[in-house]
């Protein structure tokens, strides 16, 4: 029996800006607050965090 494939989406309900952190939290099964903290740290300490967030906001589809 095959497991259903999980898909990564931007969240419609658990969002502050674009729903990227809420979607990541739902995909990995963790609290969205932790994902937002990790994202903020990545943005503050590396310039790559902001770039990855912006790309994810455009690339990830919104959940159906």
pLDDT of residue 1: 64
* Tokens 């607050």, residue located: 33
DSSP structural state of residue 46 = -
Our CA angle for 5, 3, 58, nearest 5°, is 10
Whole-model pTM: value is 0.85
Please write the tens of the pLDDT for every residue from 17-42. Answer: 999 999 999 999 999 999 999 999 99
Query: How is the chain split into domains, by residue range?
Result: 20-59
Q: How far apart are CA 10 and CA 57, in angstroms?
A: 8
Structure tokens at 42: 């990545």
- pLDDT tops 90 at residue 6: no
What is the total residue count of the chain? 64
């Amino acid at each position: 029996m095959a497991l259903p494939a999980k898909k990564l989406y931007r969240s419609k309900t658990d969002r502050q800006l674009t729903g990227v952190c809420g979607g990541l939290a739902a995909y990995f099964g963790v609290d969205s607050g932790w994902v937002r903290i990790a994202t903020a740290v990545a943005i503050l300490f590396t310039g790559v965090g902001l770039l990855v967030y912006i790309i994810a906001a455009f690339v990830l589809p919104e959940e159906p």
